[in-house]
């Protein structure tokens, strides 16, 4: 069910109406049922995969805790293996089977060999990457002794399937979400206002900014050879706005919906295009994923504890697998490689030229900060080419087109400037005050102006209607 659809506009108020009239335990049952309706609205068959992950990790969590209590710690690894095998096995089959078969076939064909491995054309279940990582974090945290399992199956099932963040995150940790599930919630006036505000800004980011940009971006990527390098650059910058608006918009609506239910989900974006280096970018972009990769992959590989070269290898490995997590496509792998390279170069640079304390903040300082911000923005936007391209051939054509750079008039630049202005109007006040809810402190007059402007933009938006969210494909 799309957040930007009439279906959700009907679904959410009905859930809220019932939710506010029930007791705590009844609320959890309602939310679990609503979550399964929300997910099954797309294809009820894939609910079976959520059921499997839920039952397996619920059982494994209890088993791990039992091993600790009965001093059978040598059996703990068996539980983790069961969890990893089940969850990653399901994810691997549905998301990567065809990819690896086709890649193996292409590799063997270069040596004059052929294979008869079948391509199954498997439909990818929406959100499988997200809830797989979420339920795995629960098992791994219990294994590491950071968490005690819940004995209530309904509570755990709701943790796995909570509908606001089920399909595209944020990827929640059990330590944050489970305690909120296990105790009564109070939807205060503050929570209600925050929820409404996040939903409105999320819809503006998605429908007005992302979908408007996406309609133009599609034309550039459909046939890059028909455009000049300048036009293709505009297209790439527009895609940078599209994916930010699309994914940050989803996260805002998810968190806003959760606030209306009395839950507080983690923040997934913190104005990433204001980053001054790529390390900072990953502290601001898709925060729940970058944190997951750091805690469960990078640190498990050794992190920065085994020397400089091993640190670089761990960083690169983490980002390569992070790229592959996004999709079964070599473009995503190369996207991850570029980000890994950026992080390695930045870490090396900071080891050679460490930050200095008590730097005088004069003209030179602020000039370098602005240049760093612009350079980081260029690096990040260049990588979106590989993220957006559907195949290697499109990537090659787009790269070739970028080399034929000549400035020609194009109406797309005005769209780019307008959408950039909208992003800045949302992001700058939040950044200056270091508070994403700073607008709620404004006088009533400005709140009314904001609400009217947002509704008008949504009404007159030229976006593509109920366009699906980009991250649904992951």
Q: Does residue 73 lie within any of the structural domains?
A: yes
Instruction: Please indicate, yes or no, whether residues 197 and 140 belong to a single structural domain of this protein.
Output: no
Instruction: Please indicate, yes or no, whether residues 232 and 101 belong to a single structural domain of this protein.
Output: no
Q: Does residue 92 lie within any of the structural domains?
A: yes
Instruction: Please indicate, yes or no, whether residues 31 and 61 belong to a single structural domain of this protein.
Output: yes
Instruction: Please indicate, yes or no, whether residues 311 and 413 belong to a single structural domain of this protein.
Output: yes
pLDDT over 70, % of the chain: 96
Annotate 392-412 with DSSP letters as a single string. HHHHHHHHHHHHS------TH
> Which residue of the set 271, 286, 326, 346 is catalytic?
326
Task: Report DSSP state, residue 209.
Answer: I
Count: domains in the chain: 2
Among residues 210, 233, 216, 172, the alpha carbon closest in space to that of 408 is found at 233
56, 84 contact by CB (below 8 A): no
Instruction: Please indicate, yes or no, whether residues 110 and 229 belong to a single structural domain of this protein.
Output: no
Residues spanned by the domain of 223: 190-473
Q: Does residue 11 lie within any of the structural domains?
A: no
Please, which pLDDT band fits residue 432 given cuts at 50, 70 and 90?
Answer: very high
Instruction: Please indicate, yes or no, whether residues 175 and 222 belong to a single structural domain of this protein.
Output: no
Query: Residue 135 — left, alpha, or beta (φ > 0 → left; ψ -120 to 50 → alpha)?
Result: alpha
Q: Does residue 15 lie within any of the structural domains?
A: no
Instruction: Please indicate, yes or no, whether residues 156 and 194 belong to a single structural domain of this protein.
Output: no
Q: Does residue 46 lie within any of the structural domains?
A: yes
**pLDDT tens digits, residue range 5-18?**
889 999 999 999 99
- Asked which of 118, 151, 186 is the last residue of a domain, the reply is 186
Q: Is 358 a residue whose pLDDT tops 90?
A: no
Instruction: Please indicate, yes or no, whether residues 368 and 265 belong to a single structural domain of this protein.
Output: yes
For residues 79 and 324, give the distance between their C-alpha atoms in angstroms, rounded to a whole number.
26
For residues 241 and 245, give the distance between their C-alpha atoms in angstroms, rounded to a whole number.
6
Q: How far is CA 159 from CA 58, 136, 174, 176, 391, in A?
A: 11, 12, 7, 10, 36
Instruction: Please indicate, yes or no, whether residues 161 and 203 belong to a single structural domain of this protein.
Output: no
| 102, 341, 469, 39 alpha-carbon torsion, rounded to 10° | 70
The two tokens of residue 119 are 């391509």
**Does pTM surpass 0.85?**
yes
Alpha carbon of residue 345 to chain centroid: 24
Instruction: Please indicate, yes or no, whether residues 148 and 200 belong to a single structural domain of this protein.
Output: no
What's the sign of the alpha-carbon dihedral 282, 288, 292, 293? negative
Please, which pLDDT band fits residue 390 given cuts at 50, 70 and 90?
Answer: confident
Q: For 17-31, 54-68, 117-131, which range has the lowest pLDDT when averaged over its residues?
A: 117-131
Q: Does residue 406 lie within any of the structural domains?
A: yes
- Asked which of 186, 215, 244 is the last residue of a domain, the reply is 186
Instruction: Please indicate, yes or no, whether residues 167 and 200 belong to a single structural domain of this protein.
Output: no
- Let me know the angle formed at the C-alpha of 384 by 378 and 389, rounded to the nearest 5 degrees: 145
Q: Active site includes 346?
A: no
Burial of 445 (0-12, 13-18, 19+ CB in 10 A): exposed
**pLDDT tens digits, residue range 245-292?**
999 999 999 999 999 999 999 999 999 999 999 999 999 999 999 999
Query: What's the mean pLDDT in 310-317?
Result: 96
Instruction: Please indicate, yes or no, whether residues 403 and 417 belong to a single structural domain of this protein.
Output: yes
Q: Is 327 a residue whose pLDDT tops 80?
A: yes
Q: Is 377 a residue whose pLDDT tops 70?
A: yes
pLDDT at residue 59 in the model: 96
Q: Does residue 14 lie within any of the structural domains?
A: no
Please, which pLDDT band fits residue 189 given cuts at 50, 70 and 90?
Answer: very high
Burial of 335 (0-12, 13-18, 19+ CB in 10 A): buried
| 256, 257, 259, 261 alpha-carbon torsion, rounded to 10° | 170
Q: Is 336 a residue whose pLDDT tops 70?
A: yes
pLDDT at residue 463 in the model: 47
Buried b (16+ CB within 10 A) or exposed e, 55-70: ebbbebbbbbbebeee
Q: Is 114 a residue whose pLDDT tops 70?
A: no
Please, which pLDDT band fits residue 148 given cuts at 50, 70 and 90?
Answer: very high
Q: Is 117 a residue whose pLDDT tops 70?
A: no
- Asked which of 142, 167, 186 is the last residue of a domain, the reply is 186
* Average pLDDT over all residues of the chain: 91
136, 87 contact by CB (below 8 A): yes
147, 140 contact by CB (below 8 A): no
Q: Does residue 6 lie within any of the structural domains?
A: no
For residues 386 and 338, give the distance between their C-alpha atoms in angstroms, rounded to a whole number.
10
Helices 24-40 and 6-19 cross at an angle (nearest 10°) of: 170
Burial of 416 (0-12, 13-18, 19+ CB in 10 A): buried
């Amino acid at each position: 069910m799309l957040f930007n659809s009439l279906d959700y506009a009907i679904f959410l108020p009905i859930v809220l109406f019932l939710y506010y009239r029930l007791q705590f335990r009844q609320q959890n049952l309602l939310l679990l049922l609503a979550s399964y309706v929300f997910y099954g609205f797309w294809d009820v068959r894939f609910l079976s995969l959520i059921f499997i992950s839920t039952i397996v990790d619920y059982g494994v969590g209890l088993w791990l805790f039992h091993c600790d209590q009965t001093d059978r710690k040598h059996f703990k690894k068996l539980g983790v293996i069961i969890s990893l095998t089940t969850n990653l096995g399901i994810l691997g089959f549905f998301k990567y089977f065809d990819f690896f078969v086709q890649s193996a076939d292409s590799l063997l064909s270069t040596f004059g060999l052929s294979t008869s491995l079948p391509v199954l054309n498997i439909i990818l279940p929406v959100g499988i990457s997200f809830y797989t990582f979420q339920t795995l974090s629960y098992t791994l945290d219990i294994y590491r002794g950071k968490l005690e399992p819940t004995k209530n199956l309904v509570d755990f099932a709701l943790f796995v399937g909570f509908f606001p963040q089920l399909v595209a995150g944020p990827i929640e940790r059990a330590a944050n979400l489970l305690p909120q599930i296990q105790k009564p919630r109070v939807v205060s006036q503050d929570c209600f206002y925050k929820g409404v505000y996040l939903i409105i800004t999320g819809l503006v980011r998605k429908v007005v900014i992302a979908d408007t940009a996406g309609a133009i971006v599609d034309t550039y990527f459909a046939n890059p050879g028909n455009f000049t390098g300048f036009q293709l650059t505009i297209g790439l910058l527009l895609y940078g706005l599209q994916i930010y608006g699309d994914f940050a918009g989803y996260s805002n609506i998810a968190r806003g919906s959760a606030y209306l239910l009395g839950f507080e989900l983690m923040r997934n974006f913190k104005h990433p295009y204001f980053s001054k280096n790529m390390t900072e970018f990953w502290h601001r972009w898709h925060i729940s994923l970058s944190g997951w990769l750091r805690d469960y992959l990078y640190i498990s590989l050794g992190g920065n504890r085994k020397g400089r070269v091993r640190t670089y290898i761990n960083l690169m490995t983490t980002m390569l697998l992070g790229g592959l997590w996004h999709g079964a496509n070599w473009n995503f792998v190369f996207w991850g490689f570029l980000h890994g390279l950026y992080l390695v170069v930045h870490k090396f640079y900071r080891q050679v030229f460490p930050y200095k304390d008590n730097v005088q903040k004069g003209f030179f300082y602020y000039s370098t900060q602005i240049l760093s911000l612009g350079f980081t923005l260029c690096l990040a936007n260049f990588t979106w080419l590989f993220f957006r391209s559907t195949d290697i051939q499109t990537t090659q054509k787009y790269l070739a087109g970028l080399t034929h750079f000549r400035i020609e008039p194009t109406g797309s630049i005005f769209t780019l400037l307008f959408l950039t202005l909208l992003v800045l109007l949302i992001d700058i006040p939040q950044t200056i005050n270091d508070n994403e809810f700073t607008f709620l402190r404004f006088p009533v007059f400005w709140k009314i102006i904001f609400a009217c402007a947002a509704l008008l933009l949504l009404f007159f938006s030229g976006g593509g209607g109920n366009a699906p969210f980009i991250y649904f494909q992951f």
